[in-house]
Structure 1
Amino acid sequence: MKFWFALFIASSMLFFNGCSSDKKKTEAKSEKVQEEVKNEKIILQDVSGKEIVVTPLEKGFSFSGYENKVVLVNFFATWCPPCKAEIPHLNNLQEKYKDNFVIISVLLEENKSNEEISNFMKYNNIHYIITNGIENFKLAQRVGGVKNIPLMFLYDKEGKYSTHYVGAIPEEMIDADIKKVL
Protein backbone atom coordinates (compact mmCIF):
# COMPACT_ATOMS: atom_id res chain seq x y z
CA MET A 1 0.00 0.00 0.00
CA LYS A 2 2.84 2.38 0.87
CA PHE A 3 4.39 1.61 -2.52
CA TRP A 4 1.22 2.58 -4.42
CA PHE A 5 0.77 5.72 -2.35
CA ALA A 6 4.37 6.79 -2.99
CA LEU A 7 3.95 6.04 -6.71
CA PHE A 8 0.74 8.09 -6.79
CA ILE A 9 2.45 11.07 -5.11
CA ALA A 10 5.47 10.87 -7.43
CA SER A 11 3.37 10.66 -10.59
CA SER A 12 1.11 13.49 -9.33
CA MET A 13 4.14 15.69 -8.82
CA LEU A 14 5.35 14.92 -12.34
CA PHE A 15 1.89 15.56 -13.77
CA PHE A 16 1.37 18.90 -12.04
CA ASN A 17 4.95 20.15 -12.20
CA GLY A 18 6.24 18.46 -15.33
CA CYS A 19 5.87 21.46 -17.65
CA SER A 20 7.03 24.19 -15.33
CA SER A 21 10.61 24.29 -16.64
CA ASP A 22 9.41 24.35 -20.26
CA LYS A 23 6.97 27.13 -19.39
CA LYS A 24 9.79 29.17 -17.91
CA LYS A 25 11.88 28.63 -21.04
CA THR A 26 8.93 29.67 -23.23
CA GLU A 27 8.29 32.78 -21.13
CA ALA A 28 11.99 33.67 -21.24
CA LYS A 29 12.01 33.28 -25.04
CA SER A 30 8.86 35.38 -25.35
CA GLU A 31 10.40 38.14 -23.22
CA LYS A 32 13.57 38.02 -25.33
CA VAL A 33 11.56 38.37 -28.57
CA GLN A 34 9.54 41.25 -27.07
CA GLU A 35 12.79 42.96 -26.01
CA GLU A 36 14.23 42.55 -29.52
CA VAL A 37 11.06 44.05 -31.05
CA LYS A 38 11.18 46.84 -28.49
CA ASN A 39 14.76 47.65 -29.53
CA GLU A 40 14.06 47.38 -33.26
CA LYS A 41 14.68 50.52 -35.30
CA ILE A 42 11.78 52.20 -37.08
CA ILE A 43 12.34 53.89 -40.42
CA LEU A 44 10.01 56.83 -40.96
CA GLN A 45 9.78 58.43 -44.37
CA ASP A 46 8.89 62.06 -44.92
CA VAL A 47 6.76 63.13 -47.88
CA SER A 48 9.83 63.96 -49.97
CA GLY A 49 11.20 60.42 -49.47
CA LYS A 50 13.88 61.23 -46.88
CA GLU A 51 14.29 58.46 -44.28
CA ILE A 52 14.47 59.15 -40.55
CA VAL A 53 15.79 56.18 -38.61
CA VAL A 54 14.26 56.14 -35.13
CA THR A 55 16.38 54.16 -32.69
CA PRO A 56 14.98 53.29 -29.27
CA LEU A 57 17.09 54.41 -26.33
CA GLU A 58 16.72 53.50 -22.67
CA LYS A 59 14.45 56.49 -22.03
CA GLY A 60 13.59 57.88 -25.44
CA PHE A 61 14.62 57.79 -29.09
CA SER A 62 17.35 59.07 -31.35
CA PHE A 63 16.34 60.45 -34.75
CA SER A 64 18.91 60.10 -37.55
CA GLY A 65 19.81 63.42 -39.11
CA TYR A 66 18.59 65.31 -36.05
CA GLU A 67 21.25 64.35 -33.53
CA ASN A 68 21.98 67.07 -30.98
CA LYS A 69 18.60 68.71 -31.61
CA VAL A 70 15.54 68.93 -29.44
CA VAL A 71 12.81 66.90 -31.20
CA LEU A 72 9.06 67.34 -30.91
CA VAL A 73 7.20 64.32 -32.28
CA ASN A 74 3.66 65.29 -33.22
CA PHE A 75 1.09 62.54 -33.88
CA PHE A 76 -1.77 63.98 -35.94
CA ALA A 77 -4.35 63.48 -38.69
CA THR A 78 -5.35 65.82 -41.51
CA TRP A 79 -9.06 65.60 -40.59
CA CYS A 80 -8.48 66.61 -36.94
CA PRO A 81 -9.55 70.24 -36.16
CA PRO A 82 -7.24 70.67 -33.09
CA CYS A 83 -4.35 69.26 -35.16
CA LYS A 84 -4.98 71.89 -37.83
CA ALA A 85 -5.39 74.64 -35.24
CA GLU A 86 -1.91 74.01 -33.82
CA ILE A 87 -0.14 74.33 -37.20
CA PRO A 88 0.61 78.08 -36.92
CA HIS A 89 1.96 77.57 -33.39
CA LEU A 90 4.19 74.69 -34.47
CA ASN A 91 5.42 76.80 -37.42
CA ASN A 92 6.30 79.61 -34.98
CA LEU A 93 8.25 77.25 -32.72
CA GLN A 94 10.07 75.64 -35.68
CA GLU A 95 11.10 79.08 -36.95
CA LYS A 96 12.07 80.42 -33.53
CA TYR A 97 14.35 77.47 -32.65
CA LYS A 98 15.29 76.31 -36.17
CA ASP A 99 18.98 75.74 -35.37
CA ASN A 100 18.43 73.54 -32.29
CA PHE A 101 14.93 72.15 -32.72
CA VAL A 102 12.92 70.05 -35.16
CA ILE A 103 9.30 69.02 -35.37
CA ILE A 104 8.57 65.61 -36.84
CA SER A 105 4.85 65.22 -37.48
CA VAL A 106 3.72 61.61 -37.73
CA LEU A 107 0.57 61.16 -39.80
CA LEU A 108 -1.79 58.53 -38.39
CA GLU A 109 -3.95 57.99 -41.46
CA GLU A 110 -3.93 55.12 -43.90
CA ASN A 111 -3.98 55.40 -47.68
CA LYS A 112 -2.87 59.04 -47.93
CA SER A 113 -0.48 59.64 -50.80
CA ASN A 114 2.60 61.80 -50.38
CA GLU A 115 1.11 64.10 -53.01
CA GLU A 116 -2.02 64.59 -50.88
CA ILE A 117 0.12 65.34 -47.83
CA SER A 118 2.32 67.75 -49.83
CA ASN A 119 -0.82 69.59 -50.94
CA PHE A 120 -2.02 69.66 -47.33
CA MET A 121 1.35 71.12 -46.30
CA LYS A 122 1.17 73.82 -49.00
CA TYR A 123 -2.45 74.69 -48.25
CA ASN A 124 -1.73 75.00 -44.51
CA ASN A 125 1.70 76.62 -44.99
CA ILE A 126 3.47 73.94 -42.91
CA HIS A 127 7.23 74.47 -42.37
CA TYR A 128 8.11 71.27 -40.55
CA ILE A 129 8.54 67.59 -41.42
CA ILE A 130 5.58 65.28 -41.97
CA THR A 131 6.13 61.53 -42.23
CA ASN A 132 3.77 59.17 -44.01
CA GLY A 133 3.61 55.39 -44.06
CA ILE A 134 2.99 52.18 -42.16
CA GLU A 135 6.06 52.73 -39.95
CA ASN A 136 4.23 55.71 -38.42
CA PHE A 137 1.86 53.26 -36.74
CA LYS A 138 4.81 51.25 -35.39
CA LEU A 139 6.20 54.39 -33.75
CA ALA A 140 2.75 55.12 -32.31
CA GLN A 141 2.75 51.65 -30.71
CA ARG A 142 6.32 52.06 -29.49
CA VAL A 143 5.49 55.24 -27.56
CA GLY A 144 2.76 53.35 -25.72
CA GLY A 145 -0.12 53.70 -28.14
CA VAL A 146 -1.86 56.80 -29.39
CA LYS A 147 -5.45 57.03 -28.22
CA ASN A 148 -6.01 60.77 -28.72
CA ILE A 149 -4.66 63.26 -31.20
CA PRO A 150 -2.94 65.60 -31.31
CA LEU A 151 -0.36 63.93 -29.10
CA MET A 152 3.18 65.28 -28.87
CA PHE A 153 6.37 64.03 -27.21
CA LEU A 154 9.34 66.28 -26.49
CA TYR A 155 12.85 64.76 -26.48
CA ASP A 156 16.03 66.56 -25.43
CA LYS A 157 19.24 66.78 -27.49
CA GLU A 158 20.32 63.31 -26.34
CA GLY A 159 16.96 61.79 -27.29
CA LYS A 160 15.78 61.45 -23.70
CA TYR A 161 12.04 61.85 -23.08
CA SER A 162 11.24 65.22 -21.53
CA THR A 163 7.45 65.60 -21.54
CA HIS A 164 4.33 65.02 -23.60
CA TYR A 165 1.17 66.91 -24.48
CA VAL A 166 -2.32 65.55 -25.13
CA GLY A 167 -4.71 67.71 -27.14
CA ALA A 168 -4.30 71.31 -28.20
CA ILE A 169 -1.64 72.97 -26.03
CA PRO A 170 -0.81 76.69 -25.80
CA GLU A 171 2.31 77.61 -27.76
CA GLU A 172 3.76 79.33 -24.68
CA MET A 173 3.69 76.07 -22.71
CA ILE A 174 5.62 74.16 -25.38
CA ASP A 175 8.00 77.12 -25.78
CA ALA A 176 8.80 77.09 -22.05
CA ASP A 177 9.49 73.34 -22.16
CA ILE A 178 11.75 73.70 -25.21
CA LYS A 179 13.77 76.37 -23.38
CA LYS A 180 14.21 73.99 -20.43
CA VAL A 181 15.78 71.25 -22.58
CA LEU A 182 17.88 73.48 -24.85
Structure 2
Amino acid sequence: MKFWLTLFVSCSILFFHGCSSDKKRKEDDKNISSSQSVIRESVTLQDVNGNAIVATPTEKGFTFSGFENKVVLLNFFTTWCPPCKAEIPHLNNLQEKYKENFVIISVLLEENKSNEELLSFIKFNAIKYTITNGSGNFALAQSVGGVKNIPLMFLYDKAGNYATHYVGAIPEEMIDADIKKVL
Protein backbone atom coordinates (compact mmCIF):
# COMPACT_ATOMS: atom_id res chain seq x y z
CA MET A 1 0.00 0.00 0.00
CA LYS A 2 2.83 2.40 0.87
CA PHE A 3 4.44 1.69 -2.50
CA TRP A 4 1.25 2.66 -4.39
CA LEU A 5 0.83 5.83 -2.37
CA THR A 6 4.42 6.85 -3.08
CA LEU A 7 3.98 6.06 -6.77
CA PHE A 8 0.74 8.05 -6.94
CA VAL A 9 2.28 11.10 -5.24
CA SER A 10 5.35 10.98 -7.50
CA CYS A 11 3.26 10.75 -10.66
CA SER A 12 0.98 13.57 -9.48
CA ILE A 13 3.93 15.87 -8.84
CA LEU A 14 5.39 15.17 -12.30
CA PHE A 15 2.02 15.63 -14.00
CA PHE A 16 1.05 18.90 -12.37
CA HIS A 17 4.50 20.49 -12.38
CA GLY A 18 5.71 19.56 -15.85
CA CYS A 19 9.05 18.10 -16.76
CA SER A 20 11.54 20.14 -14.65
CA SER A 21 12.53 21.23 -11.16
CA ASP A 22 10.92 23.94 -8.97
CA LYS A 23 14.16 25.94 -8.77
CA LYS A 24 14.36 26.12 -12.56
CA ARG A 25 10.64 26.98 -12.72
CA LYS A 26 11.07 30.01 -10.41
CA GLU A 27 14.05 31.24 -12.43
CA ASP A 28 12.14 30.72 -15.68
CA ASP A 29 9.10 32.61 -14.40
CA LYS A 30 11.34 35.63 -13.76
CA ASN A 31 12.99 35.30 -17.19
CA ILE A 32 9.68 34.83 -18.98
CA SER A 33 8.10 37.92 -17.47
CA SER A 34 11.07 40.12 -18.31
CA SER A 35 11.75 38.60 -21.75
CA GLN A 36 8.39 39.61 -23.18
CA SER A 37 9.57 43.21 -23.72
CA VAL A 38 13.00 42.45 -25.23
CA ILE A 39 13.45 43.33 -28.92
CA ARG A 40 14.19 40.18 -30.90
CA GLU A 41 14.41 39.04 -34.52
CA SER A 42 11.52 37.51 -36.44
CA VAL A 43 11.48 33.73 -36.49
CA THR A 44 9.97 31.57 -39.22
CA LEU A 45 8.23 28.42 -38.07
CA GLN A 46 7.12 25.61 -40.38
CA ASP A 47 3.98 23.67 -39.59
CA VAL A 48 3.88 19.95 -40.39
CA ASN A 49 2.14 20.70 -43.71
CA GLY A 50 4.96 23.02 -44.84
CA ASN A 51 3.17 26.31 -44.18
CA ALA A 52 5.31 29.15 -42.85
CA ILE A 53 4.33 31.11 -39.76
CA VAL A 54 6.43 34.19 -39.06
CA ALA A 55 6.62 35.09 -35.37
CA THR A 56 7.44 38.78 -35.24
CA PRO A 57 8.46 40.35 -31.94
CA THR A 58 6.60 43.44 -30.79
CA GLU A 59 7.23 45.72 -27.86
CA LYS A 60 4.94 43.61 -25.68
CA GLY A 61 4.93 40.13 -27.24
CA PHE A 62 4.65 38.52 -30.68
CA THR A 63 2.41 38.56 -33.72
CA PHE A 64 2.04 35.47 -35.88
CA SER A 65 1.53 35.70 -39.65
CA GLY A 66 -1.69 34.09 -40.80
CA PHE A 67 -3.21 34.50 -37.35
CA GLU A 68 -3.65 38.26 -37.24
CA ASN A 69 -6.45 39.52 -34.98
CA LYS A 70 -6.63 36.18 -33.13
CA VAL A 71 -5.77 35.28 -29.58
CA VAL A 72 -2.76 32.93 -29.76
CA LEU A 73 -1.76 30.24 -27.28
CA LEU A 74 1.87 29.34 -27.98
CA ASN A 75 2.52 25.84 -26.60
CA PHE A 76 6.07 24.45 -26.25
CA PHE A 77 6.02 20.65 -25.95
CA THR A 78 7.62 17.30 -26.75
CA THR A 79 5.98 14.07 -27.84
CA TRP A 80 7.56 12.08 -24.99
CA CYS A 81 6.40 14.34 -22.12
CA PRO A 82 3.43 12.83 -20.17
CA PRO A 83 1.92 16.22 -19.12
CA CYS A 84 2.26 17.45 -22.73
CA LYS A 85 0.27 14.47 -23.97
CA ALA A 86 -2.28 14.75 -21.17
CA GLU A 87 -3.16 18.33 -22.13
CA ILE A 88 -3.99 17.48 -25.77
CA PRO A 89 -7.73 16.80 -25.22
CA HIS A 90 -8.04 20.05 -23.25
CA LEU A 91 -6.26 22.07 -25.93
CA ASN A 92 -8.49 20.43 -28.56
CA ASN A 93 -11.56 21.50 -26.56
CA LEU A 94 -10.34 25.10 -26.33
CA GLN A 95 -9.45 25.22 -30.03
CA GLU A 96 -12.93 24.00 -30.96
CA LYS A 97 -14.71 26.28 -28.49
CA TYR A 98 -12.98 29.49 -29.67
CA LYS A 99 -12.06 28.54 -33.25
CA GLU A 100 -13.26 31.87 -34.72
CA ASN A 101 -11.02 34.10 -32.56
CA PHE A 102 -8.36 31.78 -31.13
CA VAL A 103 -5.54 29.57 -32.35
CA ILE A 104 -3.08 27.22 -30.70
CA ILE A 105 0.40 27.01 -32.18
CA SER A 106 2.32 24.08 -30.69
CA VAL A 107 6.07 24.30 -30.99
CA LEU A 108 7.86 20.93 -30.92
CA LEU A 109 11.17 20.99 -29.03
CA GLU A 110 12.64 17.73 -30.30
CA GLU A 111 15.50 17.40 -32.73
CA ASN A 112 15.40 14.93 -35.62
CA LYS A 113 11.64 14.29 -35.46
CA SER A 114 10.37 13.91 -39.03
CA ASN A 115 7.12 15.45 -40.16
CA GLU A 116 5.89 11.93 -40.98
CA GLU A 117 6.46 10.84 -37.37
CA LEU A 118 4.77 14.00 -36.16
CA LEU A 119 1.80 13.53 -38.51
CA SER A 120 1.38 10.02 -37.07
CA PHE A 121 1.46 11.50 -33.54
CA ILE A 122 -1.14 14.11 -34.57
CA LYS A 123 -3.42 11.46 -36.06
CA PHE A 124 -3.07 9.08 -33.09
CA ASN A 125 -3.90 11.88 -30.63
CA ALA A 126 -6.58 13.51 -32.86
CA ILE A 127 -4.88 16.91 -32.51
CA LYS A 128 -6.96 19.77 -33.93
CA TYR A 129 -4.45 22.62 -33.73
CA THR A 130 -1.29 23.73 -35.54
CA ILE A 131 2.01 22.01 -34.76
CA THR A 132 5.35 23.31 -35.96
CA ASN A 133 8.58 21.39 -36.48
CA GLY A 134 12.10 22.50 -37.34
CA SER A 135 15.01 24.71 -36.36
CA GLY A 136 12.81 27.82 -36.13
CA ASN A 137 11.17 26.22 -33.10
CA PHE A 138 14.42 26.38 -31.13
CA ALA A 139 15.05 29.98 -32.22
CA LEU A 140 11.57 30.94 -30.98
CA ALA A 141 12.21 29.15 -27.69
CA GLN A 142 15.28 31.35 -27.23
CA SER A 143 13.31 34.46 -28.23
CA VAL A 144 10.83 33.95 -25.40
CA GLY A 145 13.64 33.74 -22.86
CA GLY A 146 14.53 30.07 -23.16
CA VAL A 147 12.39 27.04 -22.43
CA LYS A 148 13.59 24.83 -19.59
CA ASN A 149 10.21 23.41 -18.53
CA ILE A 150 7.61 21.67 -20.65
CA PRO A 151 4.81 22.05 -21.25
CA LEU A 152 5.19 25.83 -21.34
CA MET A 153 2.48 28.02 -22.85
CA PHE A 154 2.19 31.75 -23.56
CA LEU A 155 -1.10 33.51 -24.17
CA TYR A 156 -1.12 36.57 -26.47
CA ASP A 157 -4.10 38.84 -27.08
CA LYS A 158 -5.40 39.80 -30.55
CA ALA A 159 -2.79 42.57 -30.83
CA GLY A 160 0.02 40.14 -29.99
CA ASN A 161 0.53 41.47 -26.47
CA TYR A 162 1.69 39.03 -23.81
CA ALA A 163 -1.21 38.20 -21.47
CA THR A 164 0.09 35.35 -19.28
CA HIS A 165 2.01 32.08 -19.30
CA TYR A 166 1.58 28.60 -17.88
CA VAL A 167 4.25 26.16 -16.72
CA GLY A 168 3.32 22.49 -16.44
CA ALA A 169 -0.09 20.92 -16.84
CA ILE A 170 -2.79 23.54 -16.28
CA PRO A 171 -6.53 22.96 -15.79
CA GLU A 172 -8.53 23.70 -18.93
CA GLU A 173 -10.82 25.99 -16.94
CA MET A 174 -7.93 28.27 -16.00
CA ILE A 175 -6.82 28.71 -19.61
CA ASP A 176 -10.45 29.14 -20.66
CA ALA A 177 -10.94 31.98 -18.16
CA ASP A 178 -7.79 33.72 -19.38
CA ILE A 179 -8.86 33.38 -23.03
CA LYS A 180 -12.19 35.02 -22.18
CA LYS A 181 -10.32 37.94 -20.58
CA VAL A 182 -8.35 38.72 -23.75
CA LEU A 183 -11.05 38.05 -26.36
**Post-superposition shift, 1:75?**
0.1
Determine whether 1:116 maps to 2:117.
yes
How many correspondences in the alignment? Answer: 146
> Which whole-Å CA distance do the structure 2 matches of 1:160 and 1:179 have between them?
15
Could you say what secondary structure the match of 1:145 adopts? Answer: coil
Alpha-carbon displacement from aligned partner over 1:77-136 (angstroms, at most 9, x marks no partner): 000000000000000000000000000000000000000000000000000000000110
Q: Quote the Cα distance in structure 1 between the aligned partners of 2:85 and 2:40.
A: 32
Distance 2:73 2:111 in 1: 22
Deviation of the 1:39 alpha carbon: 3.2
Amino acid at match of 2:47: D
Report what 1:166 is aligned to: 167
The equivalent residue for 1:181 is 182
**For each residue in 1:12-62, what CA deviation from the matched residue of structure 2 results, as whole angstroms up to 9, or x when unmatched?**
xxxxxxxxxxxxxxxxxxxxxxxxx94321000000000001100001000
1:143 aligns to what? 144
- Give matches, 1:1-182, under 5 Å: 38-182=39-183
- The two structures, once aligned, show a CA RMSD in angstroms of 1.0
Structure 2's unaligned 5+ residue stretches are 1-37
Deviations 1:119-177 (A, max 9, x none): 00000000000000011000000000101000000000000000000000000000000
Kindly indicate whether structure 1 or structure 2 has the higher relative contact order, using CA contacts under 8 Å at least 6 residues apart.
2
| Amino acid across the alignment from 2:62 | F
**2:163 counterpart SS class:** strand
SS in 1 for 2:103: strand
Secondary structure of residue in 2 paired with 1:92 = helix
Q: In 2, distance between residues paired with 1:117 and 1:149?
A: 18
Residue identity (%): 79
TM-score of the pair, normalised by structure 1:
0.79
Cross-structure match for 1:15: none
Runs of 5+ consecutive residues of structure 1 not aligned to the other structure: 1-36
Q: Output the TM-score relative to the length of structure 2.
A: 0.79
